[in-house]
Every structure is written in C-alpha cells, then in structure tokens.
Amino acid sequence: DTGVSQDPRHKITKRGQNVTFRCDPISEHNRLYWYRQTLGQGPEFLTYFQNEAQLEKSRLLSDRFSAERPKGSFSTLEIQRTEQGDSAMYLCASSLPPTGTQYFGPGTRLLVL
C-alpha cells in the first residue's frame, strides 16, 4: 500500500494560466475525491468519482475547473484561466466503499501570482 500520491507538490503560476494536477489513489480504492483547503479553514469538497463516473460536483467547482478520471485509476484536476483566489492547497483522497473513511494524499499547494 503506497498511499495516495499527488503531483506536483507545489505549483506557482501567473494569473490567467492553466494548471493541471494529478492524483493517484490507493490501488484498490474505486472512489476518488478532490478537496480544496485555504488558510485557517477545513478542506472543502469539490468533486468525487466512483471508478470513471463523476458522481457529484460542488457549487465551488466553477466552469473554470474540470476533473477527469478516464480509466478509473488516476485523476486530473485542471484549472483554466487561474485567478489569485484559486491559491490554495488541493487535496485528493480515496476510499473503498462501503467504508466512509477517506485517505488523503500530501496535497498540491497552488500559488497564483
């Protein structure tokens, strides 16, 4: 069990640029979640997948955000036309139903200048 991995760990970009993050879940976990965390707050849910199907999206996920999990394994989260307000830690987690326990990766810290 290698745990959840995320790449990159840090990303600095200029406003208006597009960025893409990758998440590799624990191998046997078929659910994958994305969260965003800003300073002083708890993680906030963005979206989740069961296998390749995207089952739920938060209202926080504007049309500049898109997530995919094409083969039901790794997932990507893309932010188009980044804004300074997108600066945050982006966390990925995975789980194996029926348990509700989610295991988190180390996160990708995004800074938009």
Partner 1 sequence: DQQVKQNSPSLSVQEGRISILNCDYTNSMFDYFLWYKKYPAEGPTFLISISSIKDKNEDGRFTVFLNKSAKHLSLHIVPSQPGDSAVYFCAASDSAGGTSYGKLTFGQGTILTVHP
Q: Measured between alpha carbons, how far is 104 from 111 in angstroms, rounded to an integer?
A: 20
- In the range 4-33, which residues lie near partner 1 by CB under 8 A? 4, 6, 33
- Per-residue contact string for residues 38-57; x = within reach of partner 1 by CB under 8 A: --xxxxxx--x------xx-
- Per-residue contact string for residues 84-103; x = within reach of partner 1 by CB under 8 A: -------x-x-x-xxxxxxx
Q: For residue 94, what are the contacts with CB-CB under 8 A and spacing of at least 6?
A: 4, 25, 26, 29, 31, 32, 33, 102, 103
Beta partners for residue 45, in sequence order: 35
Binding site for partner 1 (CB under 8 A): 4, 6, 33, 35, 40-45, 48, 55-56, 58, 91, 93, 95, 97-107, 109
